Amino acid sequence: MTHVLVSVGQRALVAALVTAGIAALASSPAGRSDLADNIRLVKNGDTHITQYGLVTTIDCSDSTVFVNGSQNVITALGSCYAISVQGSSNTIIADNVVNDITVYGFNQKVLYKSGEPAVIDRGRELGMMNFIDRIPG
């Protein structure tokens, strides 16, 4: 993996180019995919969601939920072992989180109703704002 350092002005340009690329990909017939292509259940029951702008409800089934994308709104029912979020502007609302919530990126919101998870906000460590909190259940 190659890391590139960019200035504030370059960040805006990169964000605009990435957004334009996603919009172009999503609007082309080849870029469209079924919901099943973007939510994958893997061997040990973990759920992987890679999407832009998805609004859905899933069953945690005591597994880990991985969300990678932007502007997704995911409601996770039941008990989740862990939640990991990457990207930007995602919102995850979980009934229960057992082990940990790990957040990368910026403008992420992870809300959980019960559990005592370890909260790891890697975005905040880099100066980005995220919101992770317990809410009334």
Q: Kindly state whether residues 16 and 75 are assigned to the same domain.
A: no
Q: Kindly state whether residues 56 and 8 are assigned to the same domain.
A: no
**Mean pLDDT for the stretch of residues 55-70:** 95
Mean pLDDT of the chain: 80
**Using one digit for the tens of pLDDT, what is the confidence trace for 10-53?**
444 444 444 444 444 444 444 444 555 666 665 568 999 999 99
Q: Taking 50 as the threshold, does the pLDDT of residue 7 lie above it?
A: no
Q: Kindly state whether residues 22 and 76 are assigned to the same domain.
A: no
Q: Taking 50 as the threshold, does the pLDDT of residue 96 lie above it?
A: yes
The pLDDT, as a whole number, for residue 3 is: 38
Distance separating alpha carbons of residues 51 and 34, to the nearest angstrom: 11
For the chain, the farthest-separated pair of C-alpha atoms sits apart, in whole angstroms, at 44
The pLDDT, as a whole number, for residue 6 is: 38
Under DSSP, the state recorded for 131 is E
Number of domains in the chain: 2
The pLDDT, as a whole number, for residue 89 is: 97
Q: Kindly state whether residues 23 and 66 are assigned to the same domain.
A: no
The pLDDT, as a whole number, for residue 39 is: 64
Q: Kindly state whether residues 44 and 55 are assigned to the same domain.
A: yes
At residue 126 the predicted structure's pLDDT band, cuts being 50, 70 and 90, is confident
> What percentage of the chain reaches a pLDDT higher than 70?
68
Q: Kindly state whether residues 72 and 96 are assigned to the same domain.
A: yes
**Mean pLDDT for the stretch of residues 113-135:** 93
As given in the structure block, the two tokens for residue 112 are: 């959980």
Whether residue 26 contacts residue 52, with contact meaning beta carbons closer than 8 Å, is answered with yes
